[in-house]
Amino acid sequence: MEALTLEDILVYTLLLGILIYISFKNYYKYGQKTIEGFTTKIQDVQTRIQAELTAIRKSQPTFFTQTVSAPILPRNQSFLVNICPLTGYLGGYLGPPEHLMDTTYYLQTAFQAGIRSFVLPISTYVNASKTPPDWPYSGEPVLACRDANNVIISVNGLTINQFVSALLQFKSVSNFSPEPILLYLEDDLSTTDRSKINYVSFMKKIASTLIPLDSYRLTSVGSYGSVIGGVQQTKLLTEIPLATFNNKILIFTNFDTLQDKDGTLGSYANFIYSNEENSPVRNIMLEDIAGTTVNYIQNSRINWHIASSKTPLVAPLSSTVQGAFNNGIQCVPIPLLSTPMDAIKDIWNMWKGASYLLKAESSRYTQPDPVVPSQVNTKLNASIQGRDPGNLVVT
């Protein structure tokens, strides 16, 4: 191979310089434009939501601000199954008209409002044109807003890492940070997208994003041992005192963790839910509760119910939510930061400034009093006082 001449070196250097110039030019033309556009959109969102809050706070100064600790239950009722947490649907989505996903503003505002329970519908897409920083890579787990036809309508998507990082950053932003945080990792994969990915690998990817939560997860409880993998669900709901969950993050999922022989995502889940009737944690339709013949009050006494709306991006009527709670339902996901504040004001007020409310007394689980053995009548004990068995003491 011939040695490079000085002229060759100068030509290569010039070409390299041109390539670097083009790269920087494209960054400032497209990448910087994306960053500036995102900044503008989040500022628009903040201005819009703040204006809505200000209008309501003229008559209700503490609206969307947690002002009290969660109410206290009697000792024999102080269990997870007896609370109804304020739950936000699609964590990170800030609604129309911007259709922006942003963890920072969403979670900072949510925690200040007493929202400590979040439904995260996790999906993906097979689309090589979607790339960071606006989108996770094709085939990766994503939080994005989809319409009723499963079409993505948000202008960007979030990784689970982004949500987890912001959650850890802002979980103590209010004065009520010891109260537990509930995360619902919901399988929102379409049939088409599911067929294009390796489902087990996809669950492993989700699990890997949860590692930063390790120091806050509830993995074992005293003599109960391990409380992950869904094996202790009923005991977590009805036997382990509610105070045990302080400063903890509880994870629910309906991903089919049994497909993963390594139990990777299952090892992060305290609760595994489905729509099966005999499941201790069950997903039902909010709209199906009214007029039902199912005795949900009895069914939910020791079980946990998630009542999801058929139109999850539309805030239900407060009367519908109250009707669910009257039937013993614990969780009704609400689009709390993606809906105009006027539409969710009456719903938020049901919690009276707390992060969760209590189930109605008639639907609560009450731990039975311990059985105290009756004292043995010594006159009928044939083995005492040196007497032989079978000799009845007569006085």
List, for residues 199-220, the tens digit of each pLDDT value: 999 999 999 999 999 999 999 9
Tell whether the model's pLDDT for residue 29 goes beyond 50. no
Cα separation, 73 vs 17, whole angstroms: 70
- When pLDDT is cut at 50, 70 and 90, the band that residue 33 belongs to is very low
Distance CA 123, CA 240 (A): 33
Q: Which helix (H) or strand (E) holds 161?
A: helix 160-170
- Burial of residue 250 (CB within 10 Å: 0-12, 13-18, 19+) is buried
Tell me which CATH code domain 65-363 carries. 3.20.20.190
Q: What is the mean pLDDT of the chain?
A: 89
Query: Looking up tokens 């998630």, which residue turns up?
Result: 306
- Total-model pTM: 0.86
Q: Give the separation between CA 15 and CA 13, rounded to whole angstroms.
A: 5
Tell me the percentage of the chain whose pLDDT exceeds 70.
84
How long a stretch of residues is the chain?
395
Are the beta carbons of 360 and 111 closer than 8 angstroms? Answer: no
pLDDT, tens digit, 9 for 90 and up, residues 299-352: 999 999 999 999 999 999 999 999 999 999 999 999 999 999 999 999 999 999
Q: pLDDT-based confidence at 177, cuts 50/70/90? A: confident
Domain ranges of the chain: 1-61, 65-363
Angle between the 160-170 and 199-209 helix axes, to the nearest 10 degrees? Answer: 20
Q: CA dist 197 to 192, 194, 269, Å?
A: 9, 6, 22
What is the model's pLDDT at position 109?
A: 97
Measured distance between the N- and C-terminal CA atoms of the chain, rounded to whole angstroms: 121
